Structure 1
Amino acid sequence: MEMDIFAKLAGKMGIGSAKLIRKAEEYGRLSQVKCMALNKVTPTSEAVICLDLAASYMKMPLDKEYAIRLSGITKKLYLSNLKAMECLLGLERHLSLSELGVQYGCMEAIGVATQILERYKKSLPSAQQQDLDLSKPLFTTTALYSACRCLKIKVDQKLAASSGAKKAVFGRLSVQFQSFGQAICKDCLPSSVKQQKEEDEAEEGMKEIGQNYEEWKRKILENALKSNAEICDS
């Protein structure tokens, strides 16, 4: 990729920061090595995406719609390649559990989600624990989603989609996380609630015993009456 393309496109995009352009050029050089598999990317679209990523990294404003038009590819393809390049270059920003909780309106599930991740990590062999990055979207979103399910908190399905993982992968991890979550929620119940739950279960058990006893007594009486009727008939 010719490096002068960045300055030309930056001028069209209203970017005057030399530092931003140099950062975009750095991404351009890295993309030649790490992003060879991008879908239908052109030198122009790749350069625009690099400028977009550089602007995001440096927290500088950018007209995204104009950038997409300037790239010469469709919006869907642009955003797909932007995300792919962001991942391949290691630029993706991971939202914390707190940030996800605020974004999806389920702050009360953060505590349980944090404990789910802790229990998950402890359940793995020590060798796997060392290389595990629990800040990745797959883990944070699945933990928060599972915590919401255990706490019976209604949550936007977009939370699950934000993990970036395939449905099958998310589903398997969600089942495992929910098992941790259910145990955590049970342990977290106040003693008064636990006692009430135990009393309710005991009361329900006594009702069932009573019902069984009444049924047994009814059958005994029926059999007795039947036997008496047979004796009288004979």
Structure 2
Amino acid sequence: MNPSEIKTLALKIGISSKDVIRKAEELLRLCEIRCMSATALGPNSTCQAVMCIELAATSVDQPIDKNAAIRCSGVTRKVYTTLYKTLENILEMKQDIGIRDLAVQFGCLPAVNPALEILARYRKECEGKMSESARDDVNFNSSLFTTGSLYTACRHLKIKVEKSKFLLVAGVKKSTFDRLSSDLTTHATAVIGERKTGKSKRQGHWLEDLEKSFEECSPPKRQPIAKQHGVSNGNNDYEEWKRKILEGTKTNTQS
């Protein structure tokens, strides 16, 4: 697409800045170099050009007419949004979003700390297998890894979230996202499983201390003669009371 056509498209979506149009031309050339397939980013060159114009405008906080951009692209809003996210990743113009910010956006704050641990474990595992030069090429703070870690944590914590929203932010194909989630599953099981096991151990230790305190405070046994005279054994009453207290405590702890 020649510069005059890009300028015409830019004007249609409310962009007249020469700097933005020049930036869009550069991005379009870079897009053509990096894309393996001509149809990877839309069915036509117009769609790619419109997305490059929007990216150029966004990089300098220049507002555009989003509805007009989608109309000019020749694709649906859903397709345009997906392609735009993909182009952001290809051109490395996507701003990284932290796990906590994502959790606020998706309403799953309890999954923040487990997700951070999952990502840290995964990063350590991957970096242990990479050369130093390869480590510099991988950004583990990118949206792909943060969304993957948070989504995997939510699944293991049984927090209901919409996978489609995570995919939209990740900006990758579903198959790519699923492969990453599968790789993160082992770490999620380790992190969240360890948390549950630790909690159970702490509860058991507390109950053992309670039982021990009961034993230390137990009154001395009465003489069997009390039973012969039809008098209730106080120690038996105490043991029955202690048993009920412990059963009630365990029930509350498990609930």
Please, which of 68, 71, 79 is the counterpart of residue 69 of structure 1?
Answer: 71
Which structure 2 segments of 5+ residues have no match?
Answer: 210-242, 248-255
Instruction: Kindly indicate whether residue 55 of structure 2 is the aligned counterpart of residue 49 of structure 1.
Output: no
Please, which of 155, 160, 182 is the counterpart of residue 192 of structure 2?
Answer: 182
Instruction: Kindly indicate whether residue 104 of structure 2 is the aligned counterpart of residue 98 of structure 1.
Output: no
> For residues 196-231 of structure 1, what are the alpha-carbon distances to aligned partners after superposition, in whole Å with 9 as ceiling and x for unaligned?
5889xxx9xxx9xxxxxxxxxxxxxxxxxxxxxxxx
Within 5 A, what are the aligned runs for 1:1-234? 1-35=1-35, 37-39=37-39, 41-124=43-126, 126-128=128-130, 130=132, 131=135, 132-158=138-164, 160-162=166-168, 163=170, 164=172, 165-166=174-175, 168-186=178-196, 189=199, 192-193=202-203, 195-196=205-206
Distance 1:36 1:114, change over 3 A: closer
User: 1:147 touches 1:181 (CA, 8 Å); kept in 2?
Assistant: no
Aligned residue pairs, count: 202
TM-score with structure 1 setting the length: 0.69
Give the SS at the match of 1:60.
coil
Partner amino acid for 2:12? K
Provide the C-alpha distance between the structure 1 equivalents of 2:105 and 2:97, rounded to a whole number of angstroms: 10
Distance 1:58 1:198, change over 3 A: farther
Give the SS at the match of 2:25.
helix
Give the SS at the match of 1:155.
coil
Partner amino acid for 2:65? D
Distance 1:185 1:23, change over 3 A: same
Distance 1:53 1:160, change over 3 A: closer
The corresponding residue for 1:219 is: none
Provide the C-alpha distance between the structure 1 equivalents of 2:161 and 2:206, rounded to a whole number of angstroms: 28
RMSD across aligned positions (CA): 3.3
TM-score with structure 2 setting the length: 0.65
Provide the C-alpha distance between the structure 1 equivalents of 2:158 and 2:43, rounded to a whole number of angstroms: 44
Which structure 1 segments of 5+ residues have no match?
Answer: 208-234
User: 1:112 touches 1:181 (CA, 8 Å); kept in 2?
Assistant: yes
Distance 1:11 1:171, change over 3 A: closer
Question: Deviation of residue 43 (structure 1)?
Answer: 3.6
Distance 1:28 1:156, change over 3 A: closer
Greater Cα shift, 49-58 or 189-198 = 189-198
Question: Deviation of residue 24 (structure 1)?
Answer: 0.8
Question: Deviation of residue 104 (structure 1)?
Answer: 0.9
